[in-house]
Structure 1
Amino acid sequence: MTRLNLVLLFAVLLSAMHLVQVQYDSRRLYAEIEKAQAQARKLEVEHERLQVDKRAQATPLRVEKLAKEQLKMRPAGPAITQYIAARVPQP
């Protein structure tokens, strides 16, 4: 009877230790999930901000200003347009 009690006591202790380990792992994983979700929210906010910046950078007025100032481009007009006559092939 004493051996059976010792075996059962040992089994209960092992079960309790395993339960504690599982609870610890569960809490650790839950904390990691929370951290990952917080980082995902932060990245979503950053992505939205970058999308707004991209739309602001691509406005036609800004593109035209950069083309004039940095690329020294100018609008096409009749004074600077060169027309080339099309050659009709001779039969």
Structure 2
Amino acid sequence: MAKLNLLLILAVLASGVVLVHSAYESRRLFAELDKARAEGQRLAADAERLAAERHAQATNLRVEQVARERLGMRVITPAVVASGVTP
């Protein structure tokens, strides 16, 4: 009878250790999941901001401004087209 009691006590202790370990692992994984979700939301917000910036850079006014300032381009006139001479 004493051996059975000792065996049952060891079984209860082992199951308690396994239960504590699984609870700890569950909390750790939940914390990692929460971090991953927060990082995903941050990346989604960054992607949205970058898309808005890309859209703003591609507007006609912005392209025209860059063409004038950086490339030295000018608006073409009918006189220049007719004569074939660059001003």
TM over 0.5: yes
Runs of 5+ unmatched residues, structure 1: 83-91
Give the distance between the partners of 1:80 and 1:32, measured in 2 at CA.
65
What RMSD in Å do the two structures reach over aligned CA positions?
Answer: 1.4
Runs of 5+ unmatched residues, structure 2: none
Pair 1:14-2:14 in alignment: yes
Q: TM-score, normalised by structure 1?
A: 0.82
Identity of aligned residues (%): 48
Post-superposition Cα deviations, 1:23-63, rounded to whole Å, max 9, x if no partner, equal: 00001000110111011111111111111111111111110
Deviation >2 Å, runs of 4+: 74-78
Give the distance between the partners of 1:12 and 1:54, measured in 2 at CA.
62
Give the distance between the partners of 1:56 and 1:47, measured in 2 at CA.
14
Judging by fraction of residues, say which structure has more helix. 2
**Which structure is larger by alpha-carbon Rg, 1 or 2?**
1
Q: CA deviation at 1:73?
A: 1.6
